[in-house]
Amino acid sequence: MNLAEWRERDSLYEASARRRVLGLLDQHSFQEILGPAERITSPHLEQLGFPVSFDDGVVIGSGLLNGKKVLIAAQESGFMGGAVGEVHGAKITGLLQLALISPVTAVLLVLDTGGVRLHEANAGLVAISEILHAAFRVREAGIPILVLIGGSNGCYGGMGIFARCCDYVIMSEEGRLSVAGPEVIETAGGVEEFDSRDRALVWRTMGGKHRYLLGDADRLVVDDIQAFRAVAIEVMQKPKPLSLESILREHQCLGERLVAYGECKDAFDIWKKLGIPEFGAIPLMDNDSFHAIVKPYLPKEGTEEETEHDR
Amino acid sequence: MTVDHTLDKLFSGGYHIKKDGLVISGFGVCHGQTVAIIGTIDHAAIGIESAFTLAAAVLEVIQHFPQRPILLMVDTQGQRLTQRDELLANNSYLAHLAKCLELAHHRGHRVVSLVYGEAVSGGFFATGMMAERAYALPDAQIRVMALQAMTRVTKIPLEQLDELCKTSAIFGPGITNFVRLGIIEDVWQGDLGNCLDRALRLPADYDNRAELGCERGGREWAAKVAFRVRTSAEKA
């Protein structure tokens, strides 16, 4: 991507949830479910005197992706940090249950969230657990779930665990994926443990490039809605069934990771151990040069056949 | 209650566990049935190693003891909060554990959990909340976050939160709230062996926590909203 193309790109990071949905799906195909006109808001935020949103911060519905019927949900980064409350979570759970009733090719989830909405703490936590249980039924039915991460909130907390329970994680460099967020780690361990204001540190610890290099993200794309769409089209008919074999393979990979990188203090140490000579320059590489440079150092297994996890 | 004391009361037929750090695994005999025991002790913070060890224990049961029910013994202060855990992607280790438990369920193992110590957010999410049904002892502690911390994050005065907690199960810690929300199926008291035996006889059906939360008056919206979404296609 040259500079002119980069300027012309349709940034997912900067787009609203609704804009993301419209850009990902085929034109004029989106049909929203429980849209703002239905005024389904969070009763708990209201009780606390907080502003509510008519979609409770998540847009859901059906549409076409390259002519195939899909379901889609996108979290609104600007509302409560994309966090999951009772209604917000139930919309996603209901959408996943709908996939079992009215068959679709795939489910796309554009996640942009700090995790549990602490204003609805208990209900938020169980809401994410319900999303997870519903997602496993969808996977069992052979319908792949694609998680897209590239928004300003990243994907944290229970939703960070959930994302890795789906078939595919597609990230941009701008995306971040973790369970404990920077501020949480800093609050627990002090600034010596983690300086949450050090943006470079945050991105190389949790950002898209690092997650892709270790295999926690299946794909890394440039921050362009059309780039996310292209990868979604490519993988949407390739479910990755959860089987004993696939889980054992993942177990082996995660075990090897503990041994190989357990002593590493920083992402730079890991990238160096991966054998990438230009490891120090990785954070500044654009998407194309990053892929060109790191390709030989990605473990071979799984790159073509999209096995559970693990490149 | 300590884990040994709890296991004594659960398994009158005896039990055997090994400890690996803060992770326990083994088996016990309850009413003549052998049950796999997998869990954590001492309010473990679940980091990448513990999550991996727990996953290994689940996989061992799946591979060597087909159909054997699994009892998850929950005592966790949540996920471990360090840079190193996140650098190596604790979310992937916890997700792996959740997938192992899902696989066990899928292959016909009954999976129930018992909060006998503490259960907090991410650690509970990937263990106890992955069970088909979650139970708790009366003196167990369950929370997403303490009210003091919630005050800090949400800027809502503590007095207001305290007041809200009197009528709503959504905000505050405590077993009663988690029962009302449908997260905890029941509190086990009296003969714990009988409680476990009864739980293992219930069908391994789908996730009904939202419906339970609605019935119990703690969480009316989750079930209603999900229902409206999944029936939306019929109207369209």
Fold that domain A3-177+217-242 belongs to in CATH: 2-enoyl-CoA Hydratase; Chain A, domain 1 (3.90.226)
pLDDT at A308 over 60: no
Taking every pair of Cα atoms in chain A, the longest distance, rounded to a whole number of angstroms, is: 56
Number of separate domains in chain B? 1
Mutate to test the interface with A, among B80, B88, B94, B209 (most CBs of A within 10 A): B88
Q: Select the residue of A48, A127, A243 nearest B222 (Cβ to Cβ).
A: A127
Which ipTM did the prediction report?
0.97
Contact criterion met (CB < 8 Å) for A264 and B87: yes
- Provide the domain limits for residue B32: 3-235
Alpha carbon B148 to its chain centroid, in Å, reads: 24
Q: How confident is the model at residue A300 (pLDDT cuts 50, 70, 90)?
A: low
The sign of the CA dihedral A179, A184, A188, A190 is: positive
Q: What is the CATH number of the domain that holds B162?
A: 3.90.226.10
CB B117 within 8 A of CB B43: yes
Nearest one of A240, A255, A244 to A309, comparing CA atoms: A240
CB B78 within 8 A of CB B45: yes
A53's tokens? 């949103």
Give residue limits of the domains in chain A.
3-177+217-242
pLDDT tens, chain B, 236 aa long: 799 999 999 999 999 999 999 999 999 999 999 999 999 999 999 999 999 999 999 999 999 999 999 999 999 999 999 999 999 999 999 999 999 999 999 999 999 999 999 999 989 999 999 999 999 999 999 999 888 888 887 888 999 888 888 888 998 899 999 999 999 999 999 999 999 999 999 998 889 999 999 999 999 999 999 999 999 976 55
Taking every pair of Cα atoms in chain B, the longest distance, rounded to a whole number of angstroms, is: 58
CB < 8 Å to B131, chain A: none
pTM confidence score: 0.96
Instruction: Tell me the CA distances in angstroms from A81 to A13, A42, A181, B81, B155, one per residue in order.
Output: 14, 15, 13, 21, 15
Nearest one of A156, A94, A158 to A124, comparing CA atoms: A158
CB < 8 Å to A89, chain B: 222
CB < 8 Å to B184, chain A: none
For residue B198, give how far its alpha carbon lies from the nearest alpha carbon of chain A (Å): 23
